[in-house]
Structure formats: C-alpha cells, structure tokens
C-alpha cells in the first residue's frame, strides 16, 4: 500500500524556490490501480519518485509497503526499493549492454545473497517473469532487437522479479502503439487483481479507463 | 546492500560491455606490472650472482698486521697467539681464527686422481697453502675430517667454493680437462704433491717428500687462490723443515651480530692492527650498485603503474559519465550508493588484476628471452649465472597486487562520482 499525507516538494531555481507538490494526500490500497493524470510539469513524476523512495528531500509523511520513509537511510531506502517497489518508466530504462533476461535479473542480482538468492536461482526467476509477460523466448535478445512493446514488457518483468507490493509506472504506454499499450495495461490490471498496489502516472485515457480510481494533479494538489 | 557476488556480476557485465576499453586499460596495467616484476627479478638475480661472486659474511672481520706498526709499544704489530687471544676477548667477538701461510713450497705435477684429462706435459704448479683453524670451516666439512693427519695419511684440504667455478669456466676448457661436478661429490679427490719442491729454480728445500692432498670440503671462508689445510699441519711442516715460529698472516674474527662488526674493526685498529676490507668493500659496493640500480628501475616501474592508474581513472570517469542513467536505474532497482561505488571499484580492481596477472606472465617470458640471449651472446665466464632473474613467489604476488591496488586507487574518484548520481533527478 501507499499512504502519503501532506507531501510537499520544492525545486530550487537559482535563488527562487518553485513548489511542485503543495500538500498531497494519497492512499493506494493493495489491489487498486490508481491513475494520476495531469498536464506536463504538474509534478506527476516527482510524486512517483517520492512514493518510490527515490526522492528523500520532501516534507510530509510517506508510508510505502508498511515502511515509513521518514528518517530512512540510503541503504534502507535501497533495500525497500529492491524488496517492495517495482518501477516501470516511459523510456523503459533497460541497460542496453545486457540481454533481456539479464535486465530482468538485475533486482535479484542487487539483493544480498540469501536462501534462493544465488545467480542461478535469480536467472530461473527471471525466466519465469519473462514467461509471465509473454517473452519467454526472447530472453537472449538485447534491448535494441526488441520492439517498444517488448521492451516495456521486459521492464515490467524486471519490476515484477522481486514480487513487489507496490508498482509505480511513469507514462508506461507513452512510447507504445495501441496494441502494445493494451498488452501492458492488461498486465497492470492483472497485477492489481493479484493484490499489488499499482500507481500509474499518465496522460492517456486508455490507462485511466482501466484504473479503479483516477486522480488529477493540478497546481501541486490532487483532486 | 548488494552481495559481493552481485557486485562482481554487475562489474563483469560493465566490463564486457566495453571490452576494448577494458583491454586497453588492462594493457596499461600489464606494462607497469611487467616492468615492476622484471626489474625486481633482475635486481634479485644479479644480486644473487654478486653474492656468489663475493660471498662476504656480514659477521666476519679480517684482521691483518698493519703496514706501519709501533709494535709492542702500543700492543699491536705481530699477529701471534697473544694477539689472537686479545682479539677473541673483544666485546662483541664470538670467535677468532688465525691463518698461517705455509713457508715450505709445495708443487703438483700431475692431475688429481679420478679427474683425468690431459695434463700439459712437464707442467708443475706451485700451490699456495695456508693453514686455518679447523673451527673456521667446521660447517663445511665432516666432523673430524679436517685435522692434522697421522704419518702416511693424505693431508685434508678445503678449497674456496668459487675456485671450482673458476676452474670449470677457465682452466678446464683451456686445458681440455673434465669439468668438476658441483658440491660434495668432489670430496675425497686426492692430488699428488711434492712438499719442499718449488717451481722456482733454487727455491726448493733440501728435503722433498711426496704427499697427497685430500679434499675435505668446499667453503666460502677460505682464501680464493690458496689451498687451506689444518693450522696444525702447517705448524708441523714448519717444525719438520726448520722454518721457525712465523707470525699469523691474518686472523678472522667472528662478530656475535653483524651490528658488532664496526666496533670490532675499530677495536682491532686501536690495538695496532689493520682490517682488510677489500673483498667486503667490493661486495658492499656491488650490492649497493645493484640496489640503487634496481631501486631506480623499480621507481620507474611504479611510475608506470601510477600512469596506468591515471589512465584507468580517466577511462572510468568517462565511463561513469556515460552511464549516469544506467547507474540511476540500478539505484531505482535497489542499489545503494555504496553498491554503485563498489561496482566501479570492482571494475578497476578487475582491470588491475587482469593487467597484473598478464604482466607477471609477460615478465617471465621476457626473462626467459633475456636469459636465452645472454646464453648465446655472453662468454661462458666464471660466475655467469644460469639466469639473471629470480622470481620468488612473493614477487609474482607483488606484481599482481601493485597494479591491482593502483587500479583501485585510480577508480576511487570515478566510484565516488558514481555514488553521487541522484536517481530522482536523473530519471526525471
């Protein structure tokens, strides 16, 4: 689950402080697919980074997957991202020098080795994750040889490797054609049905149409 | 925090992604490591050869009569038993062994038994003989094998180990004689001699007796160009040939510790004697030259390693700048800044280790080539070593460790820069 209370965030522009989030309250329960829409520059991505424990410089209260982000150190935030949060980006952000399978393995490789945490086990789980997004036979391909839709599904498989409680997606269908976008949206709906809290930032109606709730971010506030 | 296996997996993936860059950097580290290992191996090899040529014992002080002496006025001058006793009693002296040159001529006119070869017809060699205290060579001969023999028995002798080398590389090839095997296999060889006979006309004694010299051992403590026999044998021959009671030619004082040598030498000089530092000084000069030359070459090699570290630093900095987005993605997926730092450091370490290993192998190969060239181009002179290079295991470990540490040092800056990547800002 995600719980934000009174979240404020400013960016510094020279000597001037520019407020981006002006007291955001948000709850995303397990099994919910919440879409946040809003114009460019409205702070949608910033909100996602706060909820994803990537941005620590904000005011307010944030609890993600049962963990309060207040006062959390770098290592603990990294551990939380690795264990409980999955990210999907508009630009896919796959590492171009790794194969699709190796990209999916990354969260597992970054986790301190424990029971079932060896490279071999991580590879097996990555194959399962690729299978789940329908790319079981494309694991050896580098991202450059995949279509946009396939790349986004690889990114989704990577986000799912650690079985996260929270999935955060930033314009996930922005670079996809209608068919590929529909595939990705269908996967989001399935994940929400499985109990994952899915928060999607988008300006596309096809995503908001699939969401259980749609919130508008305007002037740094949710409505 | 990611585990070590994960860090290595990610570092390996990054290096595979830029194989050419990694290979160039490893080559730079390889050159530094090869130079370091090769120069140090050369210094060790040449140093070992010099020690074989000048086997100076760091604890020995060679006391000789002073050229100018006030004699008994200051208690110096003559090296007799009393002087030996006083030298032995000096603070820091563990022992004092006198040497007494034989005043009776001894010559050899046929080869040692069992060695064969073609002895030049009519050739007679005058043998310089010196009597030494058996305790001086007790570590080099069998117990009891170096003592004045009963009548009819061969006289035990000890030769300088280096003399065998000189014989093998000069006399044997020149006279077409068999080369001597190294080590104790020579012990027991007997040389027929004539005691009292001199190759110098009119210098022979009235009485010439056939004797046999029997090799009891080889030692670095006896003079290079003399045959050492027991001190008591020389005294006996002096008595038998009426040569009187000659003074000792030299006394070897053994210091308890090498640090005691300067004080002992000073004390001997105060007693009115001189200290023969010829061979020791040569040995020290050679050792110093080898050390200084090796040190300069090692400094050059270390500078090359430092340059390799700079090249690696520059390359990793460029790599980090080009991978900012990838590093941010890794952080989004659960890498802590410390993990990112360790990934870049592991990349540097891997480059340095690979370069170091390759450098150590290259150094071995170059040393083999150098030895082969020396064997072909240099004359077979005495004391020419089989190899001019020594590769103890610690040297190979050092050759790998230094470039690896240099590479890690070079990676520190880029690693810190990588750890400062702000994922929120980069991924916006």
Beta-bridge partners for B4: none
* Separation CA B133–CA B140 (nearest Å): 13
Closest alpha carbon within chain A to B9: A109
Arithmetic mean of pLDDT, A133-150: 91
Kindly tell me the burial class for residue A98, based on how many C-beta atoms sit within 10 Å of its own C-beta (0-12, 13-18, 19 or more).
buried
Sheet containing strand B93-101, strands side by side: B125-126, B106-108, B190-195, B209-219, B155-160, B227-230, B129-132, B93-101, B250-255, B60-65, B273-275
In B129-234, beta strands by DSSP E: 129-132, 155-160, 190-195, 209-219, 227-230
| Segments forming the whole domain that contains residue A190 | 2-222
Q: Are B18 and B355 in contact (CB under 8 A)?
A: no
The answer to whether B427 contacts A55, with C-beta atoms less than 8 Å apart, is no
The answer to whether B10 contacts A93, with C-beta atoms less than 8 Å apart, is no
> What's the total number of domains in chain A?
1
**Least-confidence region, from A102-106, B266-270, B308-312, B422-426:** B308-312
At residue B75, does pLDDT exceed 60?
no
Residues 6 or more apart from A2 whose CB is under 8 A from it? A26, A27, A28, A51, A63, A64, A166, A197, A199
**For B252-281, what is each residue's pLDDT tens digit?**
999 888 788 888 889 998 888 988 877 666
Do B111 and B21 fall within a single domain? no
Do B224 and B302 fall within a single domain? no
> How many beta carbons lie within 10 A of that of residue A27, not counting itself?
14
**Percent of chain B scored above 70 by pLDDT?**
90
Domain boundary among B228, B247, B276: B276
Sheet containing strand A85-88, strands side by side: A85-88, A166-170, A197-201, A33-37, A213-218, A221-222
Residues 6 or more apart from A194 whose CB is under 8 A from it? A31
CATH number reported for the structural domain that contains residue A85 in this entry:
3.40.50.300
Residue B373, token pair as written in the block: 């060239």
Using the Cβ of A74 and the Cβ atoms of chain B, whether some distance falls under 8 Å is answered with yes
Residue A83, token pair as written in the block: 């264990």
Q: Which residue has the tokens 């049905």?
A: A193
Do B90 and B138 fall within a single domain? yes
Residue B380, CA atoms < 13 Å, CB-side half-sphere: 10
Domain boundary among B276, B309, B341: B276
Q: Using CA of residue B70, residue B71, residue B73, residue B74, what is the dihedral sign?
A: positive
Predicted pLDDT of residue A33: 94
**Distance of residue B411 Cα from the nearest chain A Cα, in angstroms:** 21
Do B40 and B94 fall within a single domain? no
Q: B113, B119, B225, B108: which is closest to B174 by C-alpha?
A: B119
Pick A74's closest partner by Cβ from B13, B337, B427: B337
Using the Cβ of A9 and the Cβ atoms of chain B, whether some distance falls under 8 Å is answered with no
Predicted pLDDT of residue A115: 54
Arithmetic mean of pLDDT, A27-35: 94
Using the Cβ of B339 and the Cβ atoms of chain A, whether some distance falls under 8 Å is answered with yes
**For B286-305, what is each residue's pLDDT tens digit?**
777 878 888 888 888 888 88
**For B101-129, what is each residue's pLDDT tens digit?**
999 999 998 877 766 566 677 778 899 99
Do B267 and B126 fall within a single domain? yes
Chain B residues with CB-CB distance to A82 below 8 A: 333-335
Predicted pLDDT of residue B95: 92
Do B48 and B110 fall within a single domain? no
| Segments forming the whole domain that contains residue B351 | 4-55+283-426
Do B152 and B214 fall within a single domain? yes
Do B263 and B313 fall within a single domain? no
Do B261 and B317 fall within a single domain? no
Pairing of strands B125-126, B106-108: antiparallel
> What's the total number of domains in chain B?
2
Mean residue pLDDT of chain B comes to: 86
Domain boundary among B276, B300, B315: B276
> How many beta carbons lie within 10 A of that of residue B219, not counting itself?
20
Using the Cβ of B324 and the Cβ atoms of chain A, whether some distance falls under 8 Å is answered with no
Q: Which element (helix H / strand E) includes A209?
A: helix A205-210
Mean residue pLDDT of chain A comes to: 89
Do B372 and B305 fall within a single domain? yes
Using the Cβ of A58 and the Cβ atoms of chain B, whether some distance falls under 8 Å is answered with no
Measured between alpha carbons, how far is residue A56 from residues A2, A50, A74, B421 in Å?
A: 16, 7, 9, 14
Do B377 and B238 fall within a single domain? no
At residue A98, does pLDDT exceed 90?
yes
Do B268 and B290 fall within a single domain? no
**Distance of residue A189 Cα from the nearest chain B Cα, in angstroms:** 22
């Amino acid at each position: 689950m995600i719980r934000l209370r009174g979240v404020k965030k400013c960016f510094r522009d020279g000597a001037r402080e520019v407020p981006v989030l002006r007291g955001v309250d948000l709850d995303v329960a397990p099994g919910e697919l919440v879409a946040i829409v809003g114009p460019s520059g409205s702070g949608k991505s910033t909100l996602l980074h706060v909820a994803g424990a990537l941005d620590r410089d904000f005011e307010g209260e944030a609890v993600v997957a049962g963990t309060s982000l207040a006062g959390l150190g770098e290592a603990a935030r990294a551990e939380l991202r690795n264990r409980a949060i999955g990210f999907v980006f508009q630009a896919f952000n796959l590492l171009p020098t790794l194969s699709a399978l190796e990209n999916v393995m990354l969260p597992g490789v970054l986790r301190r080795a424990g029971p079932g945490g060896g490279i071999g086990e991580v590879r097996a789980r990555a194959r399962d994750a690729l299978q789940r997004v329908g790319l079981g036979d494309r694991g050896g391909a580098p991202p450059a040889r995949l279509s946009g839709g396939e790349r986004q599904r690889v990114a989704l498989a990577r986000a799912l490797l650690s079985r996260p409680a929270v999935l955060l997606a930033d314009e996930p269908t922005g670079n996809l054609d209608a068919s590929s976008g529909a595939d990705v949206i269908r996967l989001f709906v399935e994940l929400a049905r499985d109990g994952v809290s899915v928060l999607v930032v988008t300006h596309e109606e096809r995503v908001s149409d699939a969401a259980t709730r749609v919130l508008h971010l305007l002037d740094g506030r949710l409505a | 925090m990611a585990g070590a296996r994960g860090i290595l997996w990610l570092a390996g993936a990054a290096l595979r992604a830029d194989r050419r860059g990694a290979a160039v950097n490893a080559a730079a580290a390889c050159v530094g490591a090869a130079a370091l290992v090769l120069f140090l191996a050369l210094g060790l090899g040449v140093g070992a050869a010099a020690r074989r040529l000048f086997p100076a014992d760091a604890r020995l002080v060679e006391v000789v009569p002073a050229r100018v002496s006030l004699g008994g006025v200051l208690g110096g001058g003559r090296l007799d038993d009393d002087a030996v006793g006083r030298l032995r009693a000096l603070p820091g002296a563990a022992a004092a062994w006198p040497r007494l040159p034989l005043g009776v001529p001894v010559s050899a006119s046929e080869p040692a038994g069992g060695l064969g070869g073609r002895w030049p017809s009519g050739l007679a060699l005058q043998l310089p003989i010196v009597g030494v205290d058996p305790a001086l060579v007790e570590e080099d001969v069998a117990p009891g094998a170096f003592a004045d023999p009963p009548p009819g028995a061969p006289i035990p002798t000890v030769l300088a180990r280096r003399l065998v080398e000189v014989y093998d590389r000069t006399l044997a090839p020149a006279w077409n004689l068999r080369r001597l095997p190294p080590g104790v296999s020579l012990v027991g060889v007997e040389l027929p001699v004539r005691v009292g006979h001199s190759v110098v006309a009119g210098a022979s004694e009235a009485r010439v007796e056939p004797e046999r010299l029997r090799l009891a051992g080889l030692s670095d403590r006896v003079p290079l160009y003399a045959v050492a026999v027991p001190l008591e044998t020389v005294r006996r021959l002096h008595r038998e040939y009426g040569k009187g009671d000659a003074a000792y030619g030299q006394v070897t004082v053994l210091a308890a510790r090498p640090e005691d040598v300067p004080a002992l030498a000073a004390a001997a000089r105060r007693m009115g004697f001189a200290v023969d530092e010829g061979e020791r000084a040569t040995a020290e000069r050679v050792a110093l030259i080898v050390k200084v030359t090796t040190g300069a070459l090692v400094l050059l090699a270390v500078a090359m390693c430092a340059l390799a570290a700079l090249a690696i630093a520059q390359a990793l900095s460029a790599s980090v700048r080009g991978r900012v987005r990838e590093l941010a993605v890794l952080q989004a997926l659960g890498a802590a800044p410390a993990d990112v730092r360790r990934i870049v450091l592991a990349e540097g370490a891997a480059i340095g280790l690979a370069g170091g290993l390759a450098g150590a192998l290259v150094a071995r190969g170059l040393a083999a080539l150098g030895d082969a060239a020396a064997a072909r181009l240099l004359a077979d002179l005495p004391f020419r070593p089989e190899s001019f290079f020594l590769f103890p295991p610690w040297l190979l470990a050092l050759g790998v460790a230094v470039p690896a540490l240099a590479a890690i040092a070079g990676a520190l800056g880029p690693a810190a820069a990588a750890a400062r990547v702000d994922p929120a800002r980069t991924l916006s």
